[in-house]
Structure 1
Amino acid sequence: MKNPASQNSKRTSDRATTLPKADEETGGATGALAVQHPPPSLQDSSGQSDVPHPGACGFKPVIYLKAGCPYCFKLRLALLEAGLMDRVAFQEFDADTQEERRIRTELSQHFFP
């Protein structure tokens, strides 16, 4: 009969090696931040994407980032790792400020006409 205490300690040690360290900003979700290539139907024979760069027509989406927000940090990190920082514009703001209220008012007009 196997010792249940040794089995439990083995499971605990296995789990400890898979859990992110406390100082990891991404929560250990490096797979979620992997660069995704376009599906084969959107690539030519050389493997290059035939989808035009959104910036070619002058379009640059605006991403609003709340200062100190961990989700905003993760988004910025994902965009950096994917090499997309030059394709978006960032507008940062502090919580509970006049600027945040102005942004919310402006955006709510588009979502709740």
Structure 2
Amino acid sequence: MCQSSYNESLIIELDSVLTQFNRYVLIIILLFGIVGNILNIIVLSQRSLRANPCAWIFLVASIVNLISILTGLITRMLSDWVADPTTYIGWVCRLRAYAISSTRTMAPWLIALATIDL
């Protein structure tokens, strides 16, 4: 019996740690991700880099990464503070799942394509 109550308290404590992680660490990741990708977009969209196809591919990869961060992390953070719309609106859940899975797949492929671009 003592072991069972210890396991239950451990689970409650780990759930609390995960909630705090989602609330505070994800905000830092979101801010640095947004700022970093926006700076990449600003730099890579300069007129002098428009003729370079590799810069275009990195520009598209930054846009895709920004979309991935915005669709994935904002809904994850909202689920801890307020009601998550992806839990009760079906089409929002499907749209979020499609956006996250496609952008997380496209971003590494675009970077790999840019590295082999001659």
Structure-2-length-normalised TM-score:
0.29
Q: Which has the higher strand share?
A: 1
Higher relative contact order at CA 8 Å, sep ≥6: structure 1 or structure 2?
2
Q: Specify the structure having the higher radius of gyration (Cα).
A: 1
